Amino acid sequence: MYSWIVGRVVRVLVGRVNAGDVPTIMRLFGDDAVLVFPGTSSFAGVHRGRSQIESWFNRFLALRPNLVVHELAVAGPPWNMRILFRFSDSLEMPGGGRYENEGMEYLRIRWGKAREQRLYLDTEKVAELDARLVAAAE
């Protein structure tokens, strides 16, 4: 039952991501949180603290992504919960075309606040997205 409830909350939060609702998403993060996005794209890096994480989400959600959660697993008690889920991600590109990717996400939660978020996805596709965004802006 616990896993089902947490899974439902995660799906609601992903819905808020799809709606571009940065304030609701940021309420999830603790002050000392870290978001890790792999690769060499402009999205990549280790983003520490609410301010850096909020900047990352503002930029990412401005692209109006559509994330879909496919599978989800929850482990641990409320003071050391881990959530893992498989997702697909897509968005319409400015000037036409479509970006599509899929990956996994790891969240570490303590008493309802995210302390760590790590994304694992095809970083080459993200680099291609970066190049297409630059080309569309020119």
Structural domains of the chain sorted by starting position, each given as residue range(s) with its CATH number in brackets:
2-137 (3.10.450.50)
- Residue 68 has a pLDDT of 97
Residues 30/114, Cβ–Cβ less than 8 Å? yes
Q: In angstroms, rounded to a whole number, what is the distance separating the alpha carbons of residues 43 and 57?
A: 10
- Say whether pLDDT at 45 is over 90: yes
Helix (H/G/I), strand (E/B), else coil: 86: strand
Q: In angstroms, rounded to a whole number, what is the distance separating the alpha carbons of residues 84 and 104?
A: 7
Q: pTM of the predicted model, to two decimals? A: 0.91
- Burial of 23: CB neighbours in 10 Å, binned 0-12, 13-18, 19+: exposed
pLDDT tens, position by position, 98-116: 999 999 999 999 999 999 9
The DSSP code for 138 is -
Q: Which has the closest alpha carbon to 89: 60, 114, 117, 109?
A: 60
- Residue 26 has a pLDDT of 96
Pick 94 or 28 by higher pLDDT. Answer: 28
pLDDT tens, position by position, 112-135: 999 999 999 999 999 999 888 888
What tokens does 86 get? Answer: 């498989």
Q: In angstroms, rounded to a whole number, what is the distance separating the alpha carbons of residues 26 and 31?
A: 10
- Residue 132 has a pLDDT of 87
